[in-house]
Every structure is written in structure tokens, then in C-alpha cells.
Amino acid sequence: MTLIQTPFDARSTAAEVLAGVDLSGKRMIVTGGASGLGTETVRALAGAGAEVTVATRRPDAGSALAQLPGVRVAALDLADPASVQAFVASWTGPLHALVANAGIMAVPTRELSPAGWELQLATNFLGHFQLAHGLHDALRAAGNSRVVVVSSGVQRSSPVDLDDLHFERRPYDPWAAYGQSKTAGVLLAAGIARNWAGEAITANALAPGFIHTNLQRLISPETMRAMGAMDEDGKLITPEYYKTPEQGAATSVLLAGSPLVEGVTGRYFEDNQEAEVVAGGPDVRRGVAEWAVDPVAADRLWSLALETL
């Protein structure tokens, strides 16, 4: 399979990726759009003319973005099925792109969502699964639509344990739970590509790179120091390999709006390029793990997630 290449690289910004692209008339949703990468994703998509809904747990946090032309803010708590249902019920008309960007990382102890699911899986994967299914008709109605799943390089470290999704049988580990939820995101894109093929709905996943955002707030200082992102006095350092939020949002907007990936589906991107399939492992630095694009795992996870609807 030939990997898809674009003229952009790790340092390209979201605005650069969409330069000259006209998204007027396109209706898009960015979950978790009121902070970090989501905000830059919203800015770039709206800057290219799209009508963007910022789906956020705290609508007041999106009030500055709501001043931008074409941007509106709506309440959504992905961990709460009733909130997802209410968001879906309030949506009318077609949907051209759903950017599944919201996420939480490394919750220190095992927490459960209102439905009794492990919180990182519930937020990062199951909530987006429910949202995509609830918006399926709207995606179909657009005639040509895209689902973009913001995953992470940690998909290379953690397969999904299909027999113990919620850490009921194995000891809870904050990183294994985050990694599993991000692998599940890649499998979600694969599942949509497989199950909704023929409906003109494409789905792709991506890793944005490393970016200082609120996401790291639950990481221990020891881990931040080990990552080279904090000094001995607790001051944040920006290592060479970190991106700015504008660069971190670039691959999301490439997949949501660029004509360069028209019709592309079921793929995984890093730094604005499609990445190759690799054997997973904690020391692997690039690519998508075999277990994150395994069609059998995608189908099994799809079936398990359907049971939660």
C-alpha cells in the first residue's frame, strides 16, 4: 500500500495546511474545542470559512471562540451518555466533519463514568463512538463527510484488552488505560471506514505530536522530568521535540478539511503524513501499531461498543 504524502511536515501550522482552502458551506464539530489543540483546530477551520460547533464540557470556556465568525458553542460531556444524547438531539442538518479531539490522560486512580465505564475509555473512545453513531444520519446527509479521531503515539504501547476493557480483572494503570483508549480511537476510525464504506463517510486517525496543554495536568512531576519537560524546580521546559498548539492542530485540520486527503479512509497520520504500520512496543517512536489497525480487533471493538448504545 502506498503511503499518502503531503507537502507539509511536523512544523507546518494548521493555518498553513489550510491556506487557500475554502471550507465555506461546510458544517463541522470539534469536541474539546475550548482548549489546547481543539482551539487551534477550531480557529483554522473557521478561518477557512467552515461553520464550526465547539462541543465542550464547559460552554463558558468557549466564549472567546464564539466571537469568531461562524463559530458556535454547545455543551457536551462525552463521559455522560445522557449529555451525548442531548447534544445529538439538538443537532439539525448535515455534518461535514466530526473532529473527535476531546480527551483526558493518565487519570491516576481507576475512576468510573456515570455509566460505570473506566473513565478514560468512556471519555476518549465510548463517548466519541456514541457521538459518531448519533450523528451518523447527519454525516450521511452531507453527501461527503469526514470523521477525524485524534489519537496519540501511545497507541504503539497499549493494545486494547477486549476481554477487560474497564480494568475489572487486571490492575489499573493510568498509562495503560490512556493508551488503550487511544488505540481504541484508531480502531474507531478503522471501524467507521469498514462499516460505513459506501456512504461517502471517511474516517482517519492521527497523533498530533507532543504539545504543552492542559492535558499534562495529571502527569506526576517525576514523569514530566523524565520526559525532559520540567526542570528540578518544577518549571516547565519546552523540549526541542515539542510543537506549538498551532503545529499540533495541523494534522487534524488536514484530515478534516484539506482536499489533499479527499476520499482517503481508514488511515493513520503523524506530522501531516500517513504513517506506516509497525510492530508495537514502548520503544517504537513512529507509525501505527499493528494492533491498532487490525480489522478483527476493529470489528470486535465495534460490536462491544454497539452494546453500550
Ligand X SMILES: NC(=O)c1ccc[n+]([C@@H]2O[C@H](COP(=O)([O-])OP(=O)(O)OC[C@H]3O[C@@H](n4cnc5c(N)ncnc54)[C@H](O)[C@@H]3O)[C@@H](O)[C@H]2O)c1
Question: What is the binding site for ligand X (CB under 6 A)?
Answer: 31-32, 34-38, 56-57, 76-79, 101-105, 123, 150, 152, 207-208, 210-211, 213-215
Please confirm, yes or no, whether 178 is among the known catalytic residues. Answer: yes
Residue among 123 and 141 whose Cβ is closer to ligand X: 123
Let me know if 184 is exposed, middle or buried by CB neighbors in 10 A (0-12, 13-18, 19+): buried
3-class secondary structure, 301:
helix
Cα distance between residue 152 and residue 150, in whole Å: 7
DSSP for 90-116, written as a single string? H--S--SEEEE-------SS--B-TTS
- Report the residue number whose CB is nearest to ligand X: 36
Dist. CA 218–CA 119, nearest whole Å: 14
Q: What is the nearest approach in angstroms of ligand X to the Cβ of residue 206? A: 9
Report the sign of the C-alpha dihedral through residues 169, 85, 31, 142, in that order: positive
Query: What is the rounded distance in angstroms from the CA atom of residue 81 to the CA atom of residue 90?
Result: 14
Q: Rounded to the nearest whole angstrom, what is the least distance from the CB of residue 142 to ligand X in the complex?
A: 23
Comparing CB distances to ligand X, the nearer of 80 and 161 is 80
Beta carbon of residue 89, minimum distance to ligand X (angstroms, whole number): 17
| Closer by beta carbon to ligand X, 22 or else 58 | 58
**β-sheet bridge partners, residue 198:** none
Least distance between ligand X and beta carbon 20 (Å):
26
95/106 with CB nearer ligand X: 106
Instruction: Give the shortest CB-24-to-ligand X separation in angstroms.
Output: 26
How many angstroms separate the CA atoms of 129 and 308, rounded?
10
Which of 70, 208 has the CB closer to ligand X?
A: 208
| Residue type present at position 276 | E
Copy the grid coordinates of residue 251. Answer: 494534522
Which of 172, 178, 241, 242 is catalytic? The answer is 178
Which of 107, 259, 269, 264 lies closest to 180, judged by CA?
107
Hey, which residues are catalytic here?
178
